[in-house]
Each structure stands twice: as structure tokens, then as C-alpha cells.
Structure 1
């Protein structure tokens, strides 16, 4: 599932490509991927310019000229591709927006969706989402404050979107490895040094993920050289040597999520 770095990469790459461009065509191949009747969706989206593209947590918001918004959540297996019919991936396209000769393909939306919402409805969708971990106002003090009364495990807490926005299964493993903390450690067991390492690791890993274009290997467009440059350090590397201490990486299931860590140097 795309997480904060992947969605931020999509945002930064799409903005100069389709920002200010008008949607010249709409194709809906799966009605369950949208939230209103096809005719209503099309009439409110067609010929609208993309005013801006914003990211919140794992969502993208395409703000339209008429103050409507397209809220995208890719969920598991979803991706997008910008190009023409000749270049598009050989996968099922659920929704397609045209920008003249180029198409924005929304692919693999089995669980994901592209919903047409007002500004107020978008804010309502976000009302229970926690703070952005890379926001300039999200200080170490703010981090300590939101974790103050938490007693759950580290892994499950990082995955909780109501606590902190945008972190998923992959980057939670990366963050905990960087912080040298075991994923099942309890929040209330951590001292100030542990919390400091966790905060700094979260900032470092997410910023590195964004700088390197996230982990998803599929390009956003033909010739895309940025997307997919981040290489996982610990996630999905069961049986490989830890890059820090050279012990073997192990995998356990935590809350039905495959979780990867080093038993030797994570404590």
C-alpha cells in the first residue's frame, strides 16, 4: 500500500504536469470506485481545471476550479499512471481522466477509490486523522504529548492513523529499525531517550523516502527517474543480514501484519 512518501512523490510529480490543466474526458470502468452516479461525476468534473494537488496522510486531494474535490485513496494494490494508451501498464483501469492527449489512469482500485466531495466533506473525512509527522509544527514536544497516555505496542501505534498520519506497514518497520526499538515494545515502557530516537527516526526515514521517490517501482510516467528509488532496509528482508549488526532479520505477525525486525540490535 502506498504510504506517505509514495503519495508525496505522486503529488510533487503530478503538480507540474497536470496542475492548471483542464480535464477533457472522464471514463468510469468501475462504478464502485466513485461515490456518486457516473453522470453526476462526469458533469461536475469534465472541463474543470486542476487548481492544486494536496496530500493528507495517505490521500491525495485534486482541487477543481468549481471548488469540488477528487479525494484519492489507493489502498492495497492501487497506483496511478500518466501517459497515453500505448504506454499505459497492462492492468485494469477503473477510472480514467483525460488531459488532451494524455490520460491519468487510476489502476488497481479494488479497495481504493476516487470520490467527488465538497471542501467541507473532505475536511470531515480528515477529522479523525492525526498530525502530519513532517509538519514543521509537529515538534518533539507535540510527539511526546500525543503518546503520553498510550499503552499499546510501537508497531500498532505507528500504524494508527488517528495517532500519526501516513505511516503504514513498511515504513513503520523501517522507522523502528532505525530507532533500534522492537515493534512489540509498549509505548509506556519507553524513556525519553527511546522517544527521542523514535521521533528522529520517523523524521529521517520519511524524509529519506520522499527524497528517494518512495518504494513503489512502477513509474508514474514513461521516463520517470524518481519514483521507486527508496530501498527497504528491513521490511521484506527476512533471513537477510541486518545492515547494522549482521544478525538475521526475522518476521513475526503483529496485528495480522507481517513485521520485520532484527532481534539482536532492536531492543
Structure 2
């Protein structure tokens, strides 16, 4: 499943192509990709036709496009009330294409956009495994009055389905003080806390392992005893590794992950911990220490750590 940097790569690509453009028509080729839109394909298409894309917003791994409805055309700068939300699932792709480009094999939904010079006129949702989908949702006020998420023109509105998750480390409105006060109240291991979307959003398994490796902390460190300096270090590490992944275009272990232009990410070539079982720890090797990355089972997944520079705490809880 795409993680935060992959979704942010898509957001940055989409906003350049979509903002300010009107949805002229909607083709639903596979209704299964609209199963989250309870009222069905006709209602979905009716909500989108004639609406203008205001922005593309992301919080954590959630991505949505606020829409200015056609009936609001005579109103001065109306605030959007609904949004088109995209759930990429395991294999969902949002691709910008020219109409002359043949349909992709697993094309599910096509949006035709108002013409704009030098820009593709179609947004296509492609999904091989059909775990993702599109749906229209209400926008609601944020609980803290801040922007709903990362956007070009932030508004204090958030897609209703994303309103339960915390801000992510790349969000300018992210509050470390709030994060740390909540973290100290947890009685769990550090990695479990990092994966808790109600505490901090957008950190998945790959980037949790990478952030913990950079911070030199073991995943089982108890959160209620974590020093502020250690919490600051791991959050800074999470932010750094995500920014590095963004610069590389995301982490791609699967040919199904591509950005809006169809290019795969390649940050997997720069990973220090995740997926490197039995390989030398780069940090230890740099100072002449012989240590290899180990893999351990964790929450039905895997965790990768260095036993030397990420020692397990004696009082660690699982």
C-alpha cells in the first residue's frame, strides 16, 4: 500500500493539472470502484459533473479534492462543501492522460476535464486489485481550526472520513507538544505508537523502521518513559526520511505504484533498515563495527533493526 510520501507525490502532481478545472463528464467503467459511494454511480457522476476542482489536499495517506459545485457559480468565492476522495488501496493509480491515449487495462473511472493549454484532459483511476476507490464526501470544519491538511490554498475544512486522524509530520500545523503529551499517556512500544493514526498520521511500516533506525531507537522502547529529546529525534527522523523519499519520488516495491505521469518511485534503493535482513548496518560499518540488520516479527508484519545501534530496552514492552 502506498505510504505518505507516495500519496504526497501524487498530490503534488495532481494539483498542477487539476486546480481550477471543471469536470465535464464522468465515465464509470467498473462500479466496484465506487463501493464507498453508497448512493451509486449515477449519484457519484451527478455530484461531479459541472463541479470545479478547488485544490488537492492530503492528511496522512488520505487524499481529497474539494469541489466548488456548479450551482455556486454566481456566488462570490463560495467555500466548498463536498470533495472527491480517492482511496488508492493496494494498487490504485490516478493518471493524467490525453484522450488519444488508449485506455489502461484496469481503468475503472474516467473524468473528462475542461480544456487547458498544454495539459492532459482526462483524469483516470486505474486499479488492478480493486481495493481502492473513489467517492464523494462532505467537508467538515477541523477540530483545531487549522487547515485540513497539506494543500496549496489551505482551508479549515477536512474530508469527513479523514477527520478522525491526527496530523502528519509534514503538516505545517503539526504540534509536537500535543503529540508528545499524548505519547506519554500511552503504555505501549514506540513503533506501535508511530503506527497509531490517531496519534500521528502517515507513518507506515517502512518509514517507521527507517525513522527508528535514523534515531537509533528500538521499536519496543516504552512510550510512557520516553524522554522528550528522544521523541523529538524520532519525529525529526520520520520527517527527514519522508522528505528524502519525496525527493526520490516515493518508495516503490511494486510496479503498480506510479505517480500521475506513470513513473515509479525509487527510494527503496536508499533504505537503511527495511528489507535489509542479514546485510551490514551502514552506520556501524562506517565506524568499523561488524553488525547486520535483523528481522523480527511485529504485529503480523516485520521490523528491521540493528542489534548494536538500536539495542532492545531491558524493560521494553511489546
- Shorter-chain TM band: 0.7 to 0.9
1:243 aligns to what? Answer: 282
Alignment match of 1:113 (pick from 99, 122, 133) = 133
- Rounded to whole Å, the distance in 1 between the matches of 2:102 and 2:165 is 33
1:263 corresponds to: 307
Q: Which moved more, 1:245-254 or 1:81-90?
A: 81-90
| CA distance in structure 2 between the aligned counterparts of 1:90 and 1:82, rounded to whole angstroms | 12
Counting only pairs closer than 5 Å after superposition, residues 126-205 of structure 1 correspond to structure 2 as 126-205=162-241
**Correspondence for 1:220:** 259
TM-score (normalised: structure 1): 0.87
Structure number, greater radius of gyration? 2
**1:167 & 1:89 partners in 2: Cα distance?**
33
Range with greater deviation from structure 2 (129-138 or 145-154): 129-138
65-74 or 188-197, which moves further after superposition?
188-197
Q: What residue in structure 1 maps to residue 42 of structure 2?
A: 39
Tell me the TM-score normalized by structure 2: 0.74
TM-superposition CA deviations, 1:71-112 (whole Å, max 9, x none):
112122322222247767955122222236633222226222
**CA–CA separation in structure 2 for the residues paired with 1:244 and 1:229:** 21
Moved over 4 A (4+): 85-91, 221-224
Answer with 249-258 or 22-31: which moved more.
22-31
Report the alpha carbon displacement of residue 139 of structure 1 after superposing the two structures with TM.
4.2
Distance 1:266 1:149 in 2: 23
| Equivalent-residue separation in structure 2 for 1:223 and 1:117 (angstroms) | 27
- When residues 40 and 150 of structure 1 are mapped into structure 2, their CA distance, relative to the original with a 3 A threshold, is same
- Decide which moves more: 74-83 or 13-22: 74-83
Counterpart contact for 2:62–2:162, Cα < 8 Å: no
Instruction: Report how far residue 250 of structure 1 moved.
Output: 2.0
Count of residue pairs brought into register by the alignment = 265
Q: 1:123 to 1:242 in 2, by over 3 A?
A: same
Contact 1:153–1:185 under 8 Å retained in 2: yes
Q: Which secondary structure does the structure 1 equivalent of 2:55 belong to?
A: strand
Q: Where do 1:59-70 residues align within 5 Å?
A: 59-66=62-69, 67=80, 68-70=82-84
How many Å separate the matches in 2 of 1:175 and 1:38? 41
Q: Structure 1: state its 5+ residue gaps.
A: none
In structure 1, C-alpha distance between the alignment counterparts of 2:305 and 2:297, rounded to whole Å: 11
Moved more, 248-257 or 98-107: 98-107
Aligned to 1:57: 60
The corresponding residue for 2:153 is: none
Supply the distance in 2 between the matched residues of 1:196 and 1:115 (Cα, whole angstroms): 37
Change (3 A) 1:152 1:115: same
Q: Is the 8 A contact 1:87 1:222 kept in 2?
A: no
Structure 2 contact 9–246 (Cα < 8 Å) conserved:
yes
